[in-house]
Structure 1
Amino acid sequence: MTVNILFAAQPDRWVQYETPLTEALNATGLAYDLRTEFAPQEVDYIVYAPNCAVQDFTPYTRLKAVMNLWAGVEGVVKNETLTVPLTRMVDEEGLTQGMVEWVTGHVLRHHLEMDRHIVNPGHIWDHSPPPLSKDRPVTILGFGALGQACATALLNLGFPVTGWSRSPKPMQGVTTHAGTDGLPKALSDAQIVVLLLPATAATENTLNADTLALLAKGAAIINPGRGPLIDDSALLAALDSGQIGHATLDVFRVEPLPQDDPYWAHPKVTVTPHIASETRPDSASRVIAENIRGNESGKGLLHLVDRSAGY
């Protein structure tokens, strides 16, 4: 029996995914039909980007699963018409490695105080060295697959790493904390904080006036996770007071970031345009194809979203 797969995303995504997804599906040996248009009642799987035209899943009466193209599922997880399993993108080859490289690069940038030398309008000859990595504690908020992969890279560079998550996730070599009571412990005296939490009602404003005050004075914030994790007003105030030394932000509540947003002009903020870890079509296509093959063979789906948790 042929498996019908609907690719539901913006047109530019189809241009990127048509060839690699076709090749990945061919490699599975499945009999399939991949298109951008089907009669809804004929669709078995939807490869999905939440900003596409498909928002009502009710007509898709044969649907077995929706495979989200992105790691974040906040744009679809609350859709009440979606009653079949939803998977998120977990791509160690592409997405995870991209995040590790971006996070490691910006942690090193702040640790080595590179901006002090690169952005030096006064031509100041400051010969004072930064501390060694062993003396620069890093806290990672969000300790799932991405957080643990980033922790491994930072441990290999000699940083003491603390991880925090909503539920316990122990890892050798890392000090881990969990739950509401563990958050102050994870943040206490951290010099660099990396946010890799999902966007849920429970994680909104995780960094606020109270939690920012727990960090070491002059700490750096690195956010490649989700914009709502930070109380923007509180962060701007902490930057102005000197409690936070710099913030590198890749994600925002509104994207693209409006031209009049104060983050653009703030001297202690680096804005990057949501590029920390873009889904790579080649490797993401292999993840999707293997997940469909596994489900069709009776093994079930990987990377299922927990609707109650929101991720």
Structure 2
Amino acid sequence: MIQIYFAAGARLWPGYAAPLRAALDDAGIVASLTPDCADPAMVDYIIFAPGGDISDFSPYTRCNAVLNLWAGVEKIVGNPTLTQPLCRMVDPALTQGMVEWVLGHTLRHHLGMDRHITNPTHTWDPTCPPLAAERPVTLLGMGALGAACAHALQAVGFPVTGWSRTAKSVPDVALHHGDAGLVAALTGAAIVVLLLPKTPATENILNAQTLALLAPGAAVLNPGRGHLIDDAALLAALDTGHLGHATLDVFRTEPLPADHAFWAHPRVTVTPHVAAETRPSSASRVVIENIRRAQAGAPLLHLVDKSRGY
């Protein structure tokens, strides 16, 4: 019998136990699924989340794969004891949640909703915003989340440009890659959305030099990773007015400290890491599908390239 160790932590187990067992039944897989591990050498698969029950993977000599419940793997991928294949989470519900957050906040900035929602002087300003077709949006990161957000924004009418570290192909989206492509993608962008993983190559990708490329008054949306932005450079660009607003969902330290400048800045909106969440019902099916594939000798889905960090 297959042995599956749910090592994502006691807090998550009650929400995942039933959906995982249902997914196993649907896949016709007979397995022992437990949040406890009496014998690491007997474990075939590990379901994991950062902050879970394992920091040393070396005793799990029979383990075929570590299946992460988070889309991000930066807190595990550098673990030197992790020699097993690592799969990140690509959850349809997580993707949909991200699309809704990105689309909602893009429209908020595009339409200038804040000046109507918060209007203490009761100023009558009938200025209409431009149409979406006149507001170029750049997405940094063109994986599953970036591609889904790009198509949702295009459906509303925004011209979308995408950028990734390496060349990608996303139907109907203008794409750039590499260092030269980053300059092209950011130059003149009115709204920038960050959906990159945290790696040494992406840390501080928005800094004083790259922020200067954006259109005056541009908005920055970051539901990706806090380390993607140089915080001091962002605040400076906001203070000068070159940036109109930043809506940030992720931060270098979470929860965001109460005395952090982002909380009090009039051009910053803080959302508490709620842009997207892994949902047990759909994520369980992704995890069990990978176990089914591994048992059948098929390639694993969403396999992490440890040398690249994602």
- RMSD between aligned alpha carbons? 0.8
Matching residue of 1:51? 51
Mapped partners of 2:181, 2:107: distance in 1: 26
Counterpart of 1:69 in structure 2 is 69
Contact 2:10–2:35 (CA<8 Å) still a contact in 1? no
Matched to 2:172, the amino acid is G
Q: 4+ residue runs of structure 1 moved beyond 4 angstroms?
A: none
Give the match for residue 215 of structure 1: 214
In the TM superposition, residue 309 of structure 1 has moved relative to its aligned partner by 0.7
C-alpha displacement of 1:257: 0.6
Corresponding residue for 2:15?
16
Alignment of 1:265-276 (within 5 A): 265-276=264-275
Counterpart secondary structure, 1:97: helix
> Matches of 1:279 and 1:262 in 2, distance apart?
29
Tell me which amino acid in the other structure corresponds to 2:13. Answer: W
2:25 aligned residue: 26
Question: For residue 164 of structure 2, what is the aligned residue in structure 1?
Answer: 165
Amino acid at match of 2:49: A
After TM superposition, the score normalised by the length of structure 2 is 0.98
Aligned residue identity for 2:46: I
Number of residue pairs the alignment of both structures matches: 309
| 1:61-113 deviation line (CA, Å, top 9, x unaligned) | 11111000000000100000000100000112x11111111111111111111
Shift of 1:300: 2.6
> Aligned partner of 2:103: which letter?
T
In the TM superposition, residue 53 of structure 1 has moved relative to its aligned partner by 2.7
Matching residue's letter, 2:69: L
Q: Is the 8 A contact 2:4 2:33 kept in 1?
A: yes
TM-score, normalised to structure 1, is 0.98
Residue pairs, 1:1-311, within 5 angstroms: 2-38=1-37, 39-92=39-92, 94-311=93-310
How far apart are residue 266 of structure 1 and its match? 0.7
Write the distance in 2 (CA, Å) between the matches of 1:171 and 1:29.
34
Which deviations, in whole Å up to 9, do the C-alpha atoms of 1:116-168 show, x marking residues without a partner? 11111221111100000000000000011110110001111110000000111
Partners in 2 of 1:149 and 1:309 — Cα distance?
22
**Cα distance, 1:173 vs structure 2:** 3.0
2:79 maps to a residue whose letter is N
Structure 2 unaligned regions, length at least 5: none
Q: CA deviation at 1:174?
A: 2.2
Partner Cα distance (2:155, 2:27) in 1: 36
Q: Distance in 1 between matches of 2:224 and 2:276?
A: 10
Instruction: State the Cα deviation string for residues 238-279 of structure 1 (Å, max 9, x = none).
Output: 000001100000000001111111101111011001111100
Distance 2:215 2:8 in 1: 43
- Once residues 109 and 269 of structure 1 are traced to their aligned partners in structure 2, the CA distance between those partners, rounded to angstroms, is 13
Matched letter for residue 295 of structure 1 = A
Q: Secondary structure at the match of 2:293?
A: helix
- Using the aligned pairs only, state the percent identity: 63
Shift of 1:172: 3.6
Matching residue's letter, 1:149: A
For structure 1, which runs of at least 5 residues remain unmatched after alignment?
none
Aligned residue for 1:177, secondary structure, equals: strand
Judge conservation of contact 2:72–2:88 (CA < 8 Å) in 1: yes
Residues 47 and 67 in structure 2, CA contact (< 8 A), matched pair in contact too? yes
Distance in 1 of aligned mates of 2:115 and 2:15: 39
Per-residue displacement from partner, 1:21-49 (whole Å, max 9, x unpaired)? Answer: 11111111111000011121111100000
Amino acid in structure 2 at the alignment position of 1:188: T
> Structure 2 CA distance, aligned partners of 1:118 and 1:223?
22
